[in-house]
Amino acid sequence: MAWIDSHCHLDFSEFSEQSELYEHLLAADCDGVLVPATQAQYFERVVNFSQHFAKGRSDFVHMALGLHPYFLSQHQSHDLQLLDGQITRHQPCAVGEIGLDFMLDIDSHEAQVFYFEQQVLLAIKHKLPLIVHCRKAHDQLASLLRRLKFSFGGIIHGFSGSLVQAHKYLELGFVLGLGGALTYDRAQAMHKMVKALPHTAYVLETDSPDMAPAFAHGEVNSPLNVPQIAHHIARLRQEPLAHIYAHSTDNFRRVIIPKG
């Protein structure tokens, strides 16, 4: 049963044994990964990764390019022009990882909104979906998307918001990335939300190398943990594992259309 990791940073230095990892992923029935960039200085690294990791198989790595709010201090306004040019040149499948992280210092929020909004406008220009990182800003982010009349959908990665917020995103054409956070017993609110989601609502992800699931706590997270995350979702939703794989893959392919 094939599956996709809809969010992993496999270009990071933690994954230096790339050809070994690719073989392991194939052996574990992985059918693709989405690798988003986080800052301009690594655009080239992500592009390179996407061209070489899957050894000539062009539909395995889905690349996204964008400026992540976590690295705000690294961004400069001309990075937006650079991003525009790189999108034209390399045809990523999405703009990301972009978003709003209001857990970060309040002084950064205005600049975060600026970069997010500018990148949503680039996505509209290039007709691309978004890979979104959002913490403590779901309502602001959803209303921004609505104000900009954004209609290309995408993925709200690492989603742990409420069911009401989930439905707002679904109405906007987004799906929700479910990952390691839900494997923790203490994540009761999340368990409830995962149980109640429609089957068209979610995709699987790890956010590797970060966000290690409970069963791999303290380890470098890897897409190889997706099957165990899917097991948790199957148990929560009381559905066969095969359904979780099939729905999450369908949902991914509905919002992320392969390029190139």
Show the site string, 182-211: x = touches Zn ion by CB under 5 A, - = not. Answer: ------------------------------
Rounded Cα distance, 109 and 176, in Å: 23
The CB-of-241 to Zn ion minimum distance in angstroms stands at 25
Which span sits near Zn ion by CB under 5 A: 89-97, 148-156, 230-238, 241-249? Answer: 89-97
**Contacting Zn ion within 91-120 (CB under 5 A):** 97
For Zn ion, give the closer residue by CB, 86 or 221.
221
For Zn ion, give the closer residue by CB, 8 or 230.
8
For Zn ion, give the closer residue by CB, 32 or 237.
32
For Zn ion, give the closer residue by CB, 103 or 242.
103
Number of residues that bind Zn ion (CB under 5 A): 1
For Zn ion, give the closer residue by CB, 104 or 241.
104
The tokens of 65 are what?
């390019």
Longest Cα pair distance anywhere in the chain, in angstroms?
A: 49
**β-strands 94-101, 130-135: how paired?**
parallel
The CB-of-229 to Zn ion minimum distance in angstroms stands at 15
The CB-of-197 to Zn ion minimum distance in angstroms stands at 21
State yes or no: cis peptide before 258, omega within 30 of 0.
Answer: no
The CB-of-244 to Zn ion minimum distance in angstroms stands at 22
The tokens of 244 are what?
């979780």
Which span sits near Zn ion by CB under 5 A: 27-35, 52-60, 90-98, 140-148? Answer: 90-98
**3-class secondary structure per residue, 53-70:** CCCCCCCCEEEEECCCHH
Is residue 75 within 8 Å of 40, Cβ to Cβ?
A: yes
**β-strands 202-204, 174-178: how paired?**
parallel
The tokens of 122 are what?
């680039």
The CB-of-242 to Zn ion minimum distance in angstroms stands at 28
The CB-of-122 to Zn ion minimum distance in angstroms stands at 19
For Zn ion, give the closer residue by CB, 176 or 236.
176
Angle between helix 188-196 and helix 226-237 axes, rounded to 10 deg: 70
Q: How far is CA 250 from CA 199, 246, 256, in A?
A: 10, 6, 10
Binding residues for Zn ion, rule: CB under 5 A, are: 97
